[in-house]
Amino acid sequence: MTDVQRVGIVANPTILTAAAVTAEVEALLHAAGVTTIDCPNSLDPQVWTVEDDLDLIFAFGGDGTILRAARIAAPLQVPLLGINLGRVGFLSELGPEVVQERIPQVLAGHYWVERRSMLHAELWRDGARIHQFDALNDVVASRASLSRVVDCTLMVNGQKVTTYVADGVILATPTGSTAYSMAAGGPILHPELRCIVVTPIAPYLTIIHSLILPDDSQIELDITTDDAAFLTVDGQQHVALADGDAIRITTSPTPSLFARLQPRSYFAATLTSRLQRKDG
């Protein structure tokens, strides 16, 4: 009898090796008496409920697959184990070459749980909430590729901080600090910190470039634009923005949980190697 009895499976069907690796792992799980439940290929985060009684969720793919899986797993408060089949694998825990030897350790419950904060974003228009999202990496308000800059007025706890005239503004978690926010000049933060990073994209004449705020901050971006602009969540969900829209950001009450087999010092020890893109 293992400590892990029911496992959800999220796999990226666009990766050529995903089907074979997933089938191999599912066979190992079934041989150990573990029930697996496959996730449909959908962006809908509500594919499972607490009644599914999952102990773990395995994600097979790159970081994009794990971002999607995190939005599924967080509301259930089920730990996520990433198996890297992509190029970067910054969020993953295992490579496919070691899965077979590490599965017994996972099933015995010999892992620790890392808690990473997520963002909750709401898009308000004309006094009504029209969309809401959760994000593990970031929420971005930006111009379209050929549009002019957008004006984004940053409000924190009801107080105006500044108006960015820029290509856009990134609101990131510590997890997202190593993604788009870092590329735009933001700081790298340890993933278990609880805070929100605000980083403008190519701002024009601003003295505030990157701002780190407490995780209990109530943040609002007020959008002024006369051209095409978009709200993007984790680089995967996109909504058109209109002049006068407001994006309200808070820390989600449910963090993302990651099952880790590496030492707790892994982040600092592997940071440089994980940031290097692996081609091929």
Q: In what order do the strands lie in the sheet with 119-125?
A: 128-135, 119-125, 246-251, 219-224, 150-156, 159-166
Contact 54, 77 (CB under 8 A): no
* Residues 6+ positions from 49 with CB-CB distance below 8 Å: 76
Contacts 24+ apart (CB under 8 A), 271-275: 271/188, 274/88, 274/89, 274/90, 274/178, 275/90, 275/178
Residue 218 token pair: 């109530």
Residue 63 token pair: 């970081």
Which of 3, 53, 63, 234 is an active site residue? Answer: 63
Residue 18 DSSP class: H
Please indicate whether residue 215 is annotated as part of the active site. no
Distance CA 212, CA 215 (A): 9
190: helix, strand or coil: coil
Residues with active-site annotation: 63
